[in-house]
Chains A and B, each alone.
Chain A
Amino acid sequence: MKKLMYDPLNIVICGIGGQGNVLAAELVASAMNDLEYRVAEGETYGAAQRGGSVMSHVRVSADTDLGVLIPAGEAHFIIGFEPLETLRIARRYANPGTRIIYDPRPVYPQSVLRGRTVYPDLEDLKAEIDSLCKEAIQVPAADIALECGDSRAANIALIGAFSCLEGAPLDTKALEEVVAQRFKGAVLALNQKVFALGCEAAKEAVR
């Protein structure tokens, strides 16, 4: 077992119901369990499935049993499926050492589409996210997935990107194995392609 950079290591995955956030968390948690760490994972879903804000917490330790929720300010990584949700989570869970990877594509809340409110300026969102962490990288995960033929694979693009982040607790291989266990046939092929493109995009964004 490789020594963890932090113990416990805390990862928040956030987005909107229906984006595949829970599955992404489960894949990361499974990969860490397969590497023989003790893992705790918490998911918020249920009614939140229908368009609400959703987050999952993944916590990893060499030997300690952990609660399934991360205390405020204690996230080491944040994986965001949407910029407003990423900021919401960064405000609560980030600290000056946190690394963030997120899809900059906005998904408008109903109140924006119905004309009652205005979605925040994208540059303002980016600036505030940047100010709350060590490094924030944008990866166009939904666009990558759409180009490959299925928007539902955006979550796989993001965990692909996460695996190629500097200091990520998982290498690409460990996550790829979990993806291969979970999917079959054409869906697996699609997910493998999306995973690799996500990883490329993360490397590109850092350069």
Chain B
Amino acid sequence: MDWTLTTNAPGKIVLMQGNEAIVRGAVESGIHFAASYPGSPSSQILGMLGKIAKERNFYAQWATNEIAAFQACLGTSFAGARSICIVKQNGLLCIADALFCAAQHGIKGGVVVVTSDDPSAHSSTNEFDSRHMALSASIPMLEPTNMQEAKDMVPYAFEISERTKQVVIIRLTTRVCHGRGSVALGQIPETQRKLDVVDEWDRMVCVSFRHQVMLDTLEAARELFEESPYNHYSGPEHPEKLIVAGGTGCLYTKEALHLLGDPADVGLLELGTVWPLPEKLLLDKLRTAKEVLAVEEVDPFLEDELLRLAGREGLDLKIWGRNEGTINRVGELDPDHVLPAVSAFTGLPMPPRQKTSDVPLLTRDLNFCAGCPHRATFFVLKQAMRREKVPGIVVGDIGCYYMAGSEAGQYGWQVNNCMGSGINVAEGLGQLSAYGMDQPVVTMCGDSTFFHTVLPGLCNASYHNSNMLLIVLDNSATAMTGFQPHPGTGLTAMGDEVKPMSIRAICEAMNCTVEEADPFEIEETTALLNDMLHRPGLKVLIMKQPCATLMAKSRKEKVTVWVDQDKCLGDNCGCDRFCSRVWGCPGNSWDFKAGKAVIDPVSCVGCGVCAKLCPQGAIQVKKEARA
């Protein structure tokens, strides 16, 4: 849908994903520069910006990590450029130091950081509330309630950023990023603003005396937010019951009020300016209110700020929300949590619903995709570890292979901190071999993670000769977030071909012992692993096998895998249904009627590894040229 991103058709209404709306907003802002490291749920934004960058004459980069992305934006800002940096919640934490310093030195050209929080951690390992970062870094923050606002807030954020000379953050949540809604397009400027000539005496420096300037800037932003078009109030002029909502909470609350019969005595204040809060606007309603309900994503941020305001102003208010307990403290907001909360708050009865069975239904555990090389890697790793006299310790990391900690990866690792942590956690463990710990230590990282944060850790581990093995799961992709290029791929966000960096050469330059293996060659690779575990010092094993989803897209020949049920011995085999029970690929199913194995033709991608593993040779593979 590239045309919706770049066509100058003001007023036209199109269906847009929240992530697309941010892209369109950036184009309507006339940005010069965009940089990001992929992180769900906002990973699509830079991918789309990269595709249209040449047409719209700006620069877009998949940076090696978030710090590189954000600090590059500070650099371009110094020359007056408008720059946008896109991160997810964890990426925002990665750039904390840079952000806090930027807040103190200020900026020249507008800098907007778009961050995506992931309530319920749909595609994350944890929930986090970015609003705490805005508060602690003294940086203005906005939060859209729908796709239209997601688009419109980008130019508004640049305006605030340039008026206050401060970075501005836009907080998105998963439902905004991945949701779609009708958006009226705005005007795209013909050309970007001219860049500044940097003067000999221009400065952008973090020094302690700027602390007061930073605080004054925050107050200037507060004044602008008192008049912001993104704060709306509806209801009686002096409400006794007031709901204060932010982000997705606004539309859920409106619908809840509607389903409860549109009570005329309840006020609703929708806040698009998250930080600093427009205190005058709030106090105008709080002074007459007796009870307030805060509806917000993740933490009771508004609720706590309301308590603080009420305390400071000596207001006698009962405050309801996530901390008080009316709304779920953990997990995302949805209509089914907001409706009962609004019902309890207003005293209006819940609409009736049909009774349904409460017999629990089977749930579905996550699994590696059919044909995924990680399944083979973790099978091999488990096999190798079981051949050791003493059990080894396996330290995980963040990527698709996070799932290896569950049944999908043979419960393959035992420790997992955050992205890029595996090498450092293992480094520490590896040093204990000189102090009586006699267990092999293994960790892993993906190819994109290798460049993102593993490099300094590897440098440290190699220099200090930690006794450990790093497995690089090289599937030629940042697969978890949608196949973005990284320095090992030879591609850039704008589609240019560049010289790729060799992970092997980098490891060798860091004095590591390096081997390469194919995880689909189960026997050979298991033997190599066992051998490497007994070599002293730091070892790196690069597992090379492309992501199955990429392979399925690019494969030239048609591969059919099926089970010869005359050869399959079913439960008489003694393999304990190895293919479906142990190997566990979605392509390996069980024919409950025949009591034999079967391939699910819908799931199977034709990697053929299960055919090598079947003890009866019952799984057959046929390759033919595509029609």
- Chain A positions near chain B (C-beta within 8 angstroms): 16, 18, 26, 29-30, 33, 36-53, 65-73, 84, 87-88, 91-92, 94-96, 107-115, 117, 119-120, 128, 132, 142, 146, 151, 154
Contact status A50-B366, CB under 8 Å: yes
Given known pairs A72-B336, A114-B580, A142-B602, the reply for A45 and B179 (CB within 8 Å) is no
Given known pairs A65-B146, A72-B335, A115-B581, the reply for A110 and B175 (CB within 8 Å) is no
Residues of A close to B589: CB separation below 8 A: 108, 113
Residues of A close to B148: CB separation below 8 A: 65
Task: Give the bracket for the number of chain B residues in contact with chain A.
Answer: 35 or more
Contact status B181-A114, CB under 8 Å: no
Contact status B362-A117, CB under 8 Å: yes
Q: Is B252 an interface residue (CB 8 A)?
A: yes
Within 8 A of A (CB), among B102-130: 118, 122-124
The answer for the CA separation of A50 and B179 in the assembled complex, in Å, is 20
Tell me which of A33, A94, A96, A112 contacts B182 (CB under 8 A).
A33
The answer for the CA separation of A65 and B124 in the assembled complex, in Å, is 29
Contact status A33-B14, CB under 8 Å: yes
Contact status A113-B580, CB under 8 Å: yes
Residues of B close to A40: CB separation below 8 A: 146, 179-182
Residues of A close to B174: CB separation below 8 A: 46
| Minimal beta-carbon separation of A40 from chain B (angstroms) | 5
| Across the A-B interface, the 3 shortest Cβ-Cβ residue pairs | A46-B123, A67-B251, A68-B179
Contact status B577-A41, CB under 8 Å: no
B403: nearest chain-A partner, CB-CB: A50
0/1 per residue, B352-363, Cβ < 8 Å to A? 011011000111
| Minimal beta-carbon separation of A145 from chain B (angstroms) | 8
Contact status A70-B408, CB under 8 Å: no
The answer for the CA separation of A72 and B354 in the assembled complex, in Å, is 10
The answer for the CA separation of A117 and B584 in the assembled complex, in Å, is 15
- Known A-B contacts: A45-B178, A110-B365. Give 11 more (CB < 8 A): A40-B179, A40-B180, A40-B181, A41-B181, A47-B123, A50-B366, A51-B366, A69-B252, A113-B580, A114-B581, A146-B601
| 24 CB < 8 A contacts A-B | A37-B182, A39-B182, A42-B179, A44-B122, A47-B403, A49-B369, A50-B369, A50-B400, A53-B364, A66-B251, A66-B255, A67-B252, A67-B254, A68-B248, A71-B255, A72-B336, A91-B357, A96-B354, A107-B602, A108-B590, A109-B363, A113-B588, A113-B589, A132-B354
Given known pairs A68-B179, A91-B356, A114-B407, the reply for A51 and B365 (CB within 8 Å) is yes
Q: Is B259 an interface residue (CB 8 A)?
A: yes
Residues of A close to B62: CB separation below 8 A: none
The answer for the CA separation of A109 and B336 in the assembled complex, in Å, is 26
| Minimal beta-carbon separation of B486 from chain A (angstroms) | 20
